[in-house]
Amino acid sequence: MLTLHRPLPMNTTFRSVLTFLFVLVFIVQGHCREAGIYTIVLADKEGTPFSIDHPEAFLSPRSLQRRARCHIPVTYNDLPVSQRYIDSLRTLGMKIVCRSKWFNTVTAYCGDTLLLDTLTWLSFVREIRLVKPDHPVKSKQIKWTEPESPAGDSFFPVQLRMLHGDTLHRMGFTGKGLLISILDAGFYHADVLPAFDSLWSNGQIRGTWDFIAHNPQVFDDHPHGMNVLSILAGIVPGQLRGSAPGADYWLLRTEDVYSEYPVEEEYWTAGAEFADSVGSDIIHSSLGYSLFDNPTLSYSYQDMNGRTTTVARAAVMAARRGMIVVVSAGNEGNKVWHYIISPADADSILAVGAVDSLQYPASFTSFGPSSDNRVKPDVSAMGVNVLIQGSNGTVVRGSGTSFSSPLISGLTACLWQAFPEMNAQEIIRTVRESTDHYLSPDNLTGYGIPNYLIAYTRLKLVRYFSGHPSPLLVYPNPFRDHLTIVVKAEEPASIKLLLFDLSGRKVLEQIYANTKQGMRIIQTETGSTLPAGGYIMQVINGQTRANIRIVKIK
């Protein structure tokens, strides 16, 4: 016998199906999620009491002064994360780990997998992503492999002299007035080791913070940051002198050496934002990221494009706020990975490779270019057998791009001290252009080894030309044999040099190729063949002509 059943009303059927699908999705997602630390991307900053019209409420006077000097506005991205949303996440049972105002994210721990699924239904949550599982395996990534070794016979000037940094120091430029924030793994015993006595006695340590433990104690953690600090600012008479011993410092722990997961990029971002807020001029970080303990979270070389990783995007955000960001290129050159690690792939920063004392590329220095074919590393410095303050209280040697990059950070601070009217990108560009093979960069040393005396001279000339309408400078004047001619080329054309005696007779004509606009420095010894007396030098660059009177002496 056929039995007919009355169909359910349409609305009841719809509700039943919807409920079934919701439960199914909920169960499936619950099995996909795992307890751990998640970064939660927020939809907006609704409810924030802060305003870009009153940035003094969340940025220090020093930070605002840097922005004003560089004509950098405070934007929506600078507003702190909404406390209303943070409180809501806490109420749900999330433990806040860190936050980012630049990316409008909150990173938090959650042990309840069902709660993780409910987050996606909240109106203010745009996305969640796992950055560290609840039970991470012991780190398989060995971040720093070079052990400390005895210093032996001291060759302390080499690491600075290679860059002509010792000349800047003799001229009185030691980084004084500059604030450098170091993002690292810890600063073991930097409060008691002898190399840092002058920093403490002069009040140059401005503060400390541990973004992992959420406290100011950074002196009982890993020694790597302490080693880096010694290259920047350590002083041991006759043995060690830092690259910027006159600068002030914030010591920030953002690296967890016990595991390697993307959460450390979130710590790094929080550290960079803090550095911005306290008014840092330079961020130094001998850290980098590519492979993680969970391979599914690892990056590929294609991701090394300056736009994919959180830490590279944070480095760019810092650079856009008027800071100079200096990072290590990585020690992967002789490993399977082979390439630079992030944030060395970021643009508008200085990524630093390593050479030995003979200026040959170190075997471990990471290869460039970035995956979008930009020159990387940007520059290189001595990173083999660099003299550092050791954990045992003596001066020892260490190797790695971790130790070449603080040489660049410190001397860049010295250069900026000499020319405070320049902005961060002008300083970075000058450092790049002072290198030994700027016109023929390679994948191991980038543009090459900077010469900070050349960088200083170039900026001195820029300062001169900014106060003089003439596009021509010749020195010394009077001269004997050698002449240096500086031309402010107005267009990418060849430069013609003409020399006339006081009767108007042309006694010299030379043409120099010029491939771009900007300052061109020409050095010549042709004056050695000229008789003593007065001359008129004329320089022609395209439609621009400039004359100057010079005097040859015996």
DSSP 116-154: HHHHTTSTTEEEEEEEEESSPPPP---S--PPPEE--S-
Amino acid at 264: E
Give residue 267's pLDDT band: very low, low, confident or very high (50, 70, 90): very high
- Max mean pLDDT among 54-58, 235-239, 460-464 falls in 54-58
Its sign, for the CA torsion 259, 260, 261, 264, is positive
Lowest mean pLDDT among 191-195, 241-245, 259-263, 532-536: 532-536
**What does the mean pLDDT of the chain come to?**
89
Choice among 174-183, 272-281, 313-322, 470-479 with the minimum mean pLDDT: 470-479
CA 163, 454, 403 angle in degrees (round to 5)?
20
Report the C-alpha gap between 45 and 51 in whole angstroms. 11
List domains and CATH numbers for the chain.
24-133 (no CATH), 151-462 (3.40.50.200), 469-552 (2.60.40.3080)
According to the model, what pLDDT value does residue 162 have?
96
Mean of the pLDDT values across residues 32-39? Answer: 87
Res. 146 pLDDT band, cuts 50 70 90: low
Least confident interval from 104-118, 152-166, 409-423: 152-166
Check if the beta carbon of residue 359 is closer than 8 Å to that of residue 449: yes
Task: For tokens 């061109």, name the residue.
Answer: 520
Query: Distances in Å between the alpha carbon of 174 and those of 240, 245, 413?
Result: 14, 6, 8
Q: What is the pLDDT of residues 281-292, one digit of tens each?
A: 999 999 999 999
Distances (CA, A) of 13 to 23, 26, 27, 114: 15, 20, 21, 26
pTM for the whole structure = 0.85
Determine if the peptide bond prior to 476 is cis (ω within 30°).
yes
CA dist list (Å): 263 to 87, 101, 107: 21, 16, 8
Whole-number Å distance between alpha carbons of 541 and 554: 31
pLDDT value, residue 11: 47
Contact 489, 514 (CB under 8 A): yes
Q: Which of 284, 402, 299, 305 is nearest to 350 (CA)?
A: 284
Q: Which two tokens stand for residue 201?
A: 């006695």
- Band (pLDDT 50/70/90 cuts) for residue 142 is low
Confidence of residue 150 (pLDDT cuts 50, 70, 90): low
pLDDT given for residue 99 in this prediction: 97
- pLDDT of 139 reads 63
* Distance from C-alpha of 306 to C-alpha of 325, rounded to nearest angstrom: 13
- How far, in Å, CA of 37 to CA of 107, rounded? 7
User: By C-alpha distance, which of 178, 180, 164 is closest to 456?
Assistant: 164
Confidence band, pLDDT 50/70/90 cuts, at residue 541: confident
Say whether pLDDT at 515 is over 70: no
Q: Say how far apart CA 130 and CA 135 lie, in whole Å.
A: 13
Whether the predicted pLDDT of 10 surpasses 50: no
CA distances from 392 to 200, 396, 400, 538 (A): 19, 9, 19, 63
pLDDT number for residue 7: 37
Ranking 99-103, 138-142, 334-338, 483-487 by mean pLDDT, the lowest is 138-142
How many Å apart are CA 15 and CA 45, to the nearest integer? 34
Helices (H), 419-516: 424-433, 452-466
Of 378, 343, 352, 348, residue with least CA distance to 269: 343
Report, in angstroms and rounded to the nearest whole number, the Rg of the chain calculated over CA atoms: 29
User: Looking at this protein, which amino acid is placed at residue 108?
Assistant: A
What confidence score (pLDDT) does residue 361 get? Answer: 97
Q: What is the rounded CA–CA span in Å between residue 114 and residue 95?
A: 15
| Amino acid at site 254 | T
Please tell me the distance from the alpha carbon of residue 345 to that of residue 484, in angstroms, as a whole number. 37
Region of 420 (left: φ > 0; alpha: ψ -120 to 50; beta: rest) is alpha
Please give the biggest Cα pair distance in the chain: 129
What pLDDT is recorded for position 97?
A: 97
pLDDT band at 317 (very low <50, low <70, confident <90, very high): very high
Q: What is the pLDDT of residue 522?
A: 81
Q: How would you class 153 by CB atoms within 10 Å of its CB: exposed for 0-12, middle for 13-18, buried for 19 or more?
A: exposed
Strand ranges (E), 158-261: 179-184, 205-210, 235-236, 240-241, 248-253
Mean pLDDT of 81-108: 97
What is residue 486's predicted lDDT score, i.e. its pLDDT? 85
**Residue with the larger pLDDT of the pair 14 and 177:** 177
* pLDDT number for residue 156: 55
387, 239 Cβ separation under 8 angstroms: yes
Query: Minimum mean pLDDT among 25-29, 106-110, 173-177: which range?
Result: 25-29
pLDDT band of 118, cuts 50, 70, 90: confident
pLDDT for 369 = 98
What whole-number distance in Å separates Cα of residue 421 and Cα of residue 419? 5
Report the range of poorest mean pLDDT among 76-80, 114-118, 217-221, 306-310: 114-118
